[in-house]
Structure 1
């Protein structure tokens, strides 16, 4: 179960009741509005319930998610929200990540996702169980990276699902950078289990306190490799200005530059790879020097993006992942 804002919105995934029992439960729940995705048997169901304090419009539904938006949540600008129940079936679950990519909103629009993802992002997200299957889902990690989504972390206990001595963190909340711009004090709390192998998770957006101006500033070493960054530094630093003013002005300009120029490394890499693939297909038919030059330029740019990606992941993970050869394992903790 996912609860939003103590709780104005509640999502229940894979509930163990159906039919009239469901109707009676929802009537007694205290929530005025609800939406249900039913399934055969007892698996695959998703319920979303919300109070009058929230306006929730359901936009897209499937057996694995309910996607909607809230135009007036807490009096702030709109945000998109997706409730997830990923299928235990590997092939069905793999299709979910592509469906989520298609739902990605425009840049600058807030988006949060929560629920049972039925995958782990690293070995640190499990304890016990058979070692014959590691269970780390690289497709899920690729989806996070390509979409620029952040795991919002949690307050203990560490694992959200258990069966005997086998424990995993399958339930989580994700968000994009725009969400933290509006709700920088957001936190996810793992609540007690109630008659299920899964813990409840609570997403608290920060009690409506506007603190986005206090969001910590982060300098990314990957900026140094960008061709325009040195010019930005020269334009923002003046000898006749106090050093504190220079620092504040640089922080403001570099934050804006990061969004408008540096952009998202994952998207840039995906675009460049697609362009290179298109050039290779074209050259297989018509081998012109013009296309060879374009391909060479694209590969040079891709090399720079990969260097930026390496630097970014190294800074975020703060571990020796380069020697270990796994950029994802230590970041998603």
Structure 2
């Protein structure tokens, strides 16, 4: 499914209406959101007929300005949840497993009212816990480089937008094409350019290991071929090597199978234009129907390929202070419990833990989240009978903001064995990450404590020998 968001500043203009029809015909979107329609219901209904869409929801203009419109096809299971002069909130696939949320947003154009827009975003964020895509004209920039010409933008003004983005868990999806999305030219010869339009998405709307891959059977063939290959190395190192090789080969496979989607789409759209000319001549549209279906499939695959956000914090602690702080803690762990914890992990326990994990959380440096292990568990289990298995655990809920040295001291005071403490600390400490600064990865960081749960997730690894 593809979406077009556009600030047209006046659909009442017949020339602009024709331009929209040309874009729709070329891009074949399933959903279209228009800001600043400057049009009444009659004109919007006419636009709906002209672009051959099935559904329309609109927010009326204020006098001659403003106005929002959302068009969508019957092929999309979309329902509008809420609206205002600045947004239309819709739910895609409501009540289904793959439910998500799309909001077309228009930021307040008046500077002193801009905070109303950010507070609106916060309220919308708190309303649902769903994968969320929010796009269109926010009427604000997030950094000075997004403006050229005119007076400098206030740092406080830009920071307020960044705060709202962070509280909503948004990442900027980036763009293709011109850097600036808005421009104004003055008769004196100078101009102002700004990037006001953007698409933002939450972490769970993005993928590191793309779910789209699993729709292609040759993806499984790549994984199985690598995993079943024999290597004469240390068992633990063998698993690490195979996962690393899976990552490299799947990237190569992705380039071959999905990397050319954009070029294929371009060619198919050219074919569609020619097919439409031919249909006018011979009065048969079978080729048009075939090409439209192929284009929709390609667009769907392209729009499922995203990447996951990862952003963390860290500090350090003094071990001596931690030991002193835990001095009064009494031993509560019994010998029976320690013996139980000291037993070897079974295949059933490992498999159960994997299946309970959220599919797209906690990817490691190899890029493989639980989805990869859940989908290919049987392949890995077969090899695991004689090797070691690498398991990824999302432990953010258990260790939010806890200093690692303090955690170790507490475990020792309550009576856990050194073997168990060593194993748990290995899980906790085997983590490093990049920080996304305004959407760009910066530096490798090795933390020394847990991370705030509501914003971040950690990925840990440990080795469990298979029976």
TM-score, length-normalised on structure 2?
0.43
Partner of residue 84, structure 1: 105
**CA 1:50–1:136: 2 relative to 1, 3 Å:** same
Please point out which of 2, 15, 18 is paired with 2:40: 18
Flag the 1:128–1:96 CA change in 2: closer, same or farther, 3 A: same
Is this contact kept in 1: 2:38–2:66, CA < 8 A?
A: no
Contact 1:44 1:85 in 2 (8 A): no
Verify: 1:312 aligned to 2:334, yes or no: no
- Judged with a 3 Å threshold, the aligned counterparts in structure 2 of structure 1 residues 256 and 62 are, in CA distance, closer, same or farther, namely farther
1:257 aligned to 2:360?
A: no
| Unaligned stretches of 5+ residues in structure 1 | 189-203, 228-234, 237-245, 266-310, 321-333
Are 2:44 and 1:38 aligned? no
Matches of 1:316 and 1:160, distance apart in 2? 18
Distance 1:146 1:57 in 2: 25
User: Which residue, out of 119, 128, 141, partners 1:120?
Assistant: 141
1:8 aligns with 2:100: no
Equivalents in 2 of 1:217, 1:37: separation in Å?
33
Pairing of 1:208-227 with structure 2 (within 5 A): 208-209=300-301, 222=313
| Deviation readout 1:33-82 (Å, 9 max, x if unpaired) | 00000122232210000011112111111111010101179x97011111
Q: Provide the rounded CA distance (Å) in 1 between the counterparts of 2:136 and 2:149.
A: 23
Alignment root-mean-square deviation, CA: 4.6
* Residue 84 (structure 2) aligned to one of 39, 59, 62: 62
**Whole-Å Cα distance in 2 between the matches of residues 36 and 315 of structure 1?**
32
Question: Retained in 2: the 8 A contact 1:221–1:315?
Answer: no
Deviation of 1:226 after TM superposition, in Å, equals 10
User: Cα–Cα, structure 1 residues 216 and 167, in superposed 2: closer, same or farther, change >3 Å?
Assistant: closer
The alignment partner of 1:59 has SS state of strand
**Using a 3 Å threshold, how does the CA distance of structure 1 residues 22 and 219 change in structure 2: closer, same or farther?**
closer
Change (3 A) 1:250 1:118: closer
Distance in 2 between residues matched to 1:118 and 1:81, nearest whole Å = 19
Q: CA deviation at 1:223?
A: 6.4
Separation of aligned partners in 1, 2:309 and 2:184: 40
- Aligned residues between the structures: 241
Q: Could you tell me whether the CA contact under 8 Å between 2:206 and 2:308 is conserved in 1?
A: no
1:101 alignment partner in structure 2 = 122
Q: Secondary structure at the match of 1:103?
A: helix
Query: Does structure 2 retain, via aligned residues, the 8 Å contact 1:113–1:175?
Result: yes
Residue by residue over 1:236-260, the C-alpha shift from the partner in whole angstroms, topping out at 9 and shown as x without a partner, is 9xxxxxxxxx986997589652665
Partner in structure 2 of residue 168 of structure 1: 194
SS at match of 1:207: helix
2:100 and 2:196 map into 1 onto residues whose CA distance is 24
Distance 1:217 1:40 in 2: 39
Structure 2: runs of 5 or more not aligned: 7-23, 186-190, 213-257, 263-295, 319-343, 346-363, 371-389, 402-433, 444-467
Q: Which has the larger radius of gyration?
A: 2
Kindly indicate whether the alpha-carbon contact (under 8 Å) linking 1:159 and 1:169 is maintained by their aligned counterparts in 2. yes
